[in-house]
Chains A and B, each alone.
Chain A
Amino acid sequence: MAHPPFFLHRSSFTAACDTMTDSPQEPLRPLWLLAELTYSCPLQCPYCSNPLRLGERARELATDDWLRVLGEARKLGAIQLGLSGGEPLLRKDLEVIVGEARRLGFYTNLLTSGMGMDEARIAALKDAGLDHIQVSFQADDPDLNNRLAGSDSFRKKVEVARRVKAHGYPMVLNIVMHRHNLDRMREILDMALALEADYVELANTQYYGWALANRDYLLPTRDQLQRAEAVAHDYQARFGDRMKIYFVVPDYFEGRPKPCMNGWGRIFLSVAPDGTALPCHAAADLPGLMLPNVRDHSLEWIWNDSPDFNYFRGESWMQQPCAGCDERATCFGGCRCQAYLLTGDAAAADPACSKSASHDVILEAVERAAGLRSLPQPIMRNKRNVARALRHPVGSPPGRADTPLSD
């Protein structure tokens, strides 16, 4: 799956509606619950942000575990539910999970490749109360799409997108953008218009998991990005009333980090297929985390009291240049996982920031990829390639330290 963006809008009307702001007395709530139901997937996208160790289906949470997690999360204030993976349609109990989520008052989002969706299933999900379906595409061109997905999936995706609209769901198309499809921005947006997408997420690749191991293969050039962004803005201006277009900022090129998860343990809670609860779905490789499991702990304890969710909460963990930086309330120091993966220190500034002492590693990666005369072959995301991806010098985590990060 792609690294999900999160849009949390607060009302900002002038006369009739006060602007809502965080108040220090307000407790933090996991407004967004990401349920990664399985890491199994019929697709093999080399930009997948799932962890390199994909895990066994036998260790996945049972239906009852998920239903309990949903109830506990709702009590904590969770309201948006992302049903993701891997491919969530591989779970035969998806309709049961959706039904319970809807009954509890969640807004239910299914994030799918489309593979495994047929007429009976999409109708059953509607009956269960599913609110929205996000369909991923790799490209507008069938051959490119299928090559990137490692699977003959394009025709099926088009069929599913039409079914989504025919059943009256709001539809988001998600396209992860990189070197191999950025030059097709215009064609991709034309496809989205033709499929009557309500929203398009142009998700510039985030380099975690499989994407990091394939970084040289995926990183675009600055010129490519600028051209593609100009096209996206042109379409926003021309078709914004029909289709909302989100261009997810490519943090390697911006000089500023993304506000990852809107801050650690602030609004986002992810539960991995095996029940591990994480403040960010890429956090499993950070050193020193206890990785609490929903089988062993209540979600309330995990969210409020577990060491993991408190490690990088607030600002007390920040070092220079984050501590005292006047932008720290905007970016929250960026991404802890990216800081660790690229600097070896999870409490360092995100190196995507030009103020980071390690910003060179980002600039060098961009420069190196732009200068490559021949691109490496992608390591496709599948179980056969796990060992190969883990051996990859860029993709593998710096090595799990046994000592805790800090107290």
Chain B
Amino acid sequence: MSTVDPDACYGIAPGHRMQWEEVQQSWVILYPEGMVQLNDSAAEALRRCDGRTPLSSVITDLEAAFDEADLSADVLELIDAALQQGWVCLR
């Protein structure tokens, strides 16, 4: 069902901006006239999607950083949803 490719590189979509919001104490993605507030785990994953790092490396890095065994399914699901929303794109 998922069209997400673990070997591909994903990045924040053009016209979108991800930034830390001090007042909200959270990461947000901004786009024309809108905002999505990310929770910590989504933010950690999307921050690593820099358009140059393959998603598989992002997953490995997250697993190491948070000492979790298998985050693959969670991250693929996140990227799939983010692609559908247009927050990230294939690079």
Contacts of B37 in A (CB 8 A): 10-11, 20
In contact, B30 and A16 (Cβ under 8 angstroms): no
- Chain A interface size band reads 35 or more
In contact, A13 and B86 (Cβ under 8 angstroms): no
Most buried by A among B24, B32, B34, B37: B32
Residues of B22-72 at the interface with A, using a CB-CB cut-off of 8 Å, are 23-24, 28, 30-39, 41-42, 45, 71
In contact, A131 and B75 (Cβ under 8 angstroms): no
Bound complex: CA of A168 vs CA of B77, how far in Å?
29
In contact, A17 and B41 (Cβ under 8 angstroms): yes
Would you call A169 an interface residue if the criterion is a C-beta within 8 Å of the partner chain's C-beta atoms?
yes
Minimum distance in angstroms from B27 CB to a CB of chain A = 10
Most buried by B among A16, A20, A105, A169: A16
Of B19, B24, B39, the contact of A11 (CB 8 Å cutoff): B39
Bound complex: CA of A29 vs CA of B37, how far in Å?
14
In contact, A109 and B42 (Cβ under 8 angstroms): no
Minimum distance in angstroms from B70 CB to a CB of chain A = 12
Given A13-B78, A16-B74, A132-B15, A79 and B33 contact (CB-CB distance below 8 Å): no
Contacts of B77 in A (CB 8 A): 13-16
Contacts of B45 in A (CB 8 A): 16
In contact, B30 and A107 (Cβ under 8 angstroms): yes
For the residues of A in contact with B, the DSSP-based class is loop
Bound complex: CA of A208 vs CA of B35, how far in Å?
27
Cβ contacts A163-207/B at 8 Å (1 or 0 each): 000001110100000000000000000000000001100000000
Cβ contacts A24-40/B at 8 Å (1 or 0 each): 00000101000000000
Number of B residues whose C-beta is below 8 Å from A? 30
Bound complex: CA of A305 vs CA of B55, how far in Å?
48
Minimum distance in angstroms from A77 CB to a CB of chain B = 4
Would you call A4 an interface residue if the criterion is a C-beta within 8 Å of the partner chain's C-beta atoms?
yes
In contact, B32 and A11 (Cβ under 8 angstroms): no
In contact, A170 and B15 (Cβ under 8 angstroms): yes
Q: Which residue of B lies closest to A111 (CB)?
A: B33
In contact, B32 and A199 (Cβ under 8 angstroms): yes
In contact, A131 and B39 (Cβ under 8 angstroms): no
Cβ contacts A214-250/B at 8 Å (1 or 0 each): 0000000000000000000000000000001000000
Bound complex: CA of A14 vs CA of B81, how far in Å?
10
In contact, A168 and B33 (Cβ under 8 angstroms): no
Minimum distance in angstroms from B14 CB to a CB of chain A = 7
Q: Which residue of B lies closest to A134 (CB)?
A: B32
Minimum distance in angstroms from A305 CB to a CB of chain B = 18
Would you call A373 an interface residue if the criterion is a C-beta within 8 Å of the partner chain's C-beta atoms?
no
In contact, A7 and B33 (Cβ under 8 angstroms): yes
Bound complex: CA of A18 vs CA of B74, how far in Å?
12
Would you call A76 an interface residue if the criterion is a C-beta within 8 Å of the partner chain's C-beta atoms?
yes
Bound complex: CA of A107 vs CA of B34, how far in Å?
9
Interface residues of B (CB under 8 A from A): 14-15, 17, 19, 21, 23-24, 28, 30-39, 41-42, 45, 71, 73-75, 77-78, 81, 85-86
Name 11 extra pairs, CB < 8 A, besides A8-B34, A18-B39: A9-B35, A9-B85, A10-B36, A17-B38, A17-B42, A20-B39, A29-B24, A75-B23, A79-B30, A107-B32, A109-B32
Q: List 28 A-B contacts (CB under 8 A).
A: A4-B33, A6-B34, A7-B33, A7-B34, A9-B85, A11-B36, A11-B39, A13-B42, A15-B74, A15-B77, A16-B71, A16-B74, A17-B39, A17-B42, A20-B37, A20-B39, A31-B35, A77-B21, A79-B21, A79-B30, A79-B35, A82-B33, A107-B17, A107-B31, A107-B32, A107-B35, A170-B31, A172-B32
